[in-house]
Structure 1
Amino acid sequence: MAKPNPLSAVAAQVAESMGHAQGKPKPAPAAEPNSDPATAALAKTSREGKRFLGYYVEPSRHEEIKQAALDEGIQIQELMRQAIDAWMDQNGTEAVAAVARRRVRRLANPK
């Protein structure tokens, strides 16, 4: 289990105050402590059925990414998901087609 970041609450407050000044939407509110546990479980991000994807970056780049996530009031994982989603929105059709072509070639020419 990941260790909670003690600066997360402060970062969220800063991001929220900056969001109001820059016209950004407020971050989604956290689940209420007295809410239904089943609903809370559905709201949590789950790793079940998902695959890990990661890459190595230089320490200076990691600090930039970490600061960007703090500025947005989100975790690095969410920042990376948003970046990949944006890339897929821009290039997804071509990327999916390229994967499909490779899959067809691989099935046609098994080793």
Structure 2
Amino acid sequence: MNLQQKIEAHSLVKPVRPKLPRLIYDQFTPAAFIRGMSENHPVALILSDEAGTFFAYPRIGEIPVFNSAWNGSDIRKDSATSGMVSISAPRLSLSLQMQPDYFFTA
């Protein structure tokens, strides 16, 4: 293979997208969280100064996903819109602050 052929072959190779370190999630949907953990590093901090919104519907239905990420269990999620998503050995920390009035009435 001559040099020109090598250059042409190399130009056809698509670069591999690097995994970006998105570590902090504050305003997000559960689907975006799962996608972010699967496409990037499976390490995250959920940070919320209004934790009432974190526990509100529809996010409350995704609590098992957050539990799995927190304890390091593999996550497998399948949906008609986004297909199969797999996250191996996730790590999750949470820092959730809530207003006292909401905490005692919720």
Higher relative contact order (CA 8 A, sep 6+): 1
- TM-score relative to the length of structure 2: 0.22
- TM-score relative to the length of structure 1: 0.21
More helix by share: 1
